[in-house]
Every structure is written in C-alpha cells, then in structure tokens.
Amino acid sequence: MVEQQISGRDVIAGIFRRWHLLVLAPVAGAIGFYLAAQMLPKLYTSEVLFKLDEAQGKMAESLLRSNTLIDQAVAVAYAGQPGVNLPSKRRELNRRMRWIVSRSYDRTASGIFQLEVDAESPERAQKLAGILVDKWFEFNKPQDTQRREILWRIEQTEAMLANVNELIERLKKESADALIGAFRNEVASPIQDLYQRQTALRFDLRSLKVILEGASRDVVISRPTLPGLPSWPDAMLTALLGGVGTFILVLFYTIASLVLRGSTSAAQQRDASVSTTRS
C-alpha cells in the first residue's frame, strides 16, 4: 500500500530539512501584514464611563441610539461643513457607537457602563463622544408638559410632608404632656407609622426634584478620553496573526508536498517492479 511507504518519521524529517522556509515565510508574512495594517485607514476610540443601575443603563442606551438624539449630535458635530451627507453620518455614528457593561451589577446596585465612539482622528472621536453625552443630559430633562406635572406632584408631596411633620410634633407633645403610663405605648405605634410615612415622602420628594433637574452629571465618572493610539487596525496583533497564519499555511503545504511526493515515488517504484516482473 502507498500509505505504508510514507512514514511519519519521513514527513518530520522532511519538515526539518525545510526549516528555513518555515522560519522565513512567517517572518515575511508578519512584516507584510504589519505594513498593510499601517496603510489602512485608522480608527480611534474615545471612552466615557457612566455609573447607572440596570434600568437607567437600558434607558440610556435606548436614548443614545434614538434617531432624534443622533441627528442632533451629527448636526452639531458637522455644523458649518458644506456637502456633508447627514443621513450617512447618522448611520456611520450609530455603527461606530457601542454601549458596554464594564462591570457586573445586581438589580439594586449601580454598575459601570461604557460608551465607546470611533472616529478617524482622536479629536473627532472625543468631540463626538462629548456631544453625545451633552445631548443625553439635554434629553433627560423633562419637557414643558412633564415639567408642569412634576412641579404639581412636588407641591402635593411637600404639602403631605408638612401635614405629617405637624402630626408627628402634635403626637409627641401629647405623649409627653398627657398620655403617660399605659397610654404611652398606644401613642408610640401611630408615631412610628408616621415616621415611616415621613421617610417615604422625603424620598419621593427628592426623586421628583432629581427628575425635574434631569440626570445628574455625577453619573458620568469620566469625561470623554482623547485616544493616543488607534484602536483599529492593531498593527502588532495583525502582524502576529499574519505570521501565525503564514506558518500554518506553509506547514500544511510542506506536509502535503512531502506526502504527494512520497505517494508519487511509491507509485513509480510499484510500476517499475511490475515491469521487471513481466520482463
């Protein structure tokens, strides 16, 4: 059989005889891929970190990817530049923007979210990221109709809180002056309920005021970065992968050529043996 004429030892020996090809070809391939990567258009990535809970993170991503916000961001970024195709720039920005969960979190705690924006220059990437963040804060502020409703709810909550505070003070005074002994415990329970109601109203009031003012800039824990190195293409990684790929191809070609040559040689020997037998 042909397979019996080709041993693994012969293949390994043939590979070692061609060591210079297996060394030089990957080096040449890595250099070629590195030079090609240097000539490709470069992209730079600006990053912004947010501290939000799960619900806020989902809402932020939805708002950042909304056509209305992106249209306004593109209009600001390319203002005064004639001939700019705004719909094309909108699609490009949507494609080059990523919203990433940088750190795990549970449903009750805040997590770290990362906004990444790619552009052809570090300055452009930083500018686009900054405009998106500013527009996000602007869109988080309530509209006029919502604002009037929130102001009315704040007024009602403040009135209820004032009534609760007055009741607490009255019950505390009555408990201290008249209701003593066995009656003190009967008054303590309503006061505790009122304290819980007071805490809840204060929380609601604080939340409404936050909504009225829009998202606090404290949620942004890092301003848009100015990238120093391109994020794509990574010339060193491209060179490494190119060198490894070239090595695998050359190794496969070497093994295939050795096996094919061994098969051809074995077939020729078999034909020669048959001819000698017949003669």
Mean pLDDT rounded to a whole number for the chain: 81
User: The pTM is what?
Assistant: 0.57
Res. 2 pLDDT band, cuts 50 70 90: very low
Token look-up 């549970």 returns 106
pLDDT tens digits for 189-201?
677 888 888 899 9
* DSSP H helices in the chain: 2-5, 8-17, 19-39, 54-64, 67-77, 86-95, 122-140, 144-177, 184-213, 235-278
Residue 210: the pLDDT is 67
Structure tokens at 243: 């060198």
Mean pLDDT of the 222-234 span: 87
pLDDT, tens digit, 9 for 90 and up, residues 60-97: 888 899 989 999 999 998 887 877 788 888 899 999 99
Q: Determine the Cα angle at 210 with ends 209 and 212, to 5°.
A: 60
When mean pLDDT is compared across 178-187, 208-217, 222-231, 251-260, the lowest value belongs to 178-187
* pLDDT exceeds 90 at position 226: yes
pLDDT digits (tens, 9 = 90+) for 12-52: 888 888 888 889 999 999 999 888 888 888 999 999 999 88
Q: How confident is the model at residue 171 (pLDDT cuts 50, 70, 90)?
A: confident
Contact 145, 89 (CB under 8 A): no
CB-based contacts of 213, cutoff 8 Å, min separation 6: 141
**Residue percentage of the chain with pLDDT more than 70:** 80
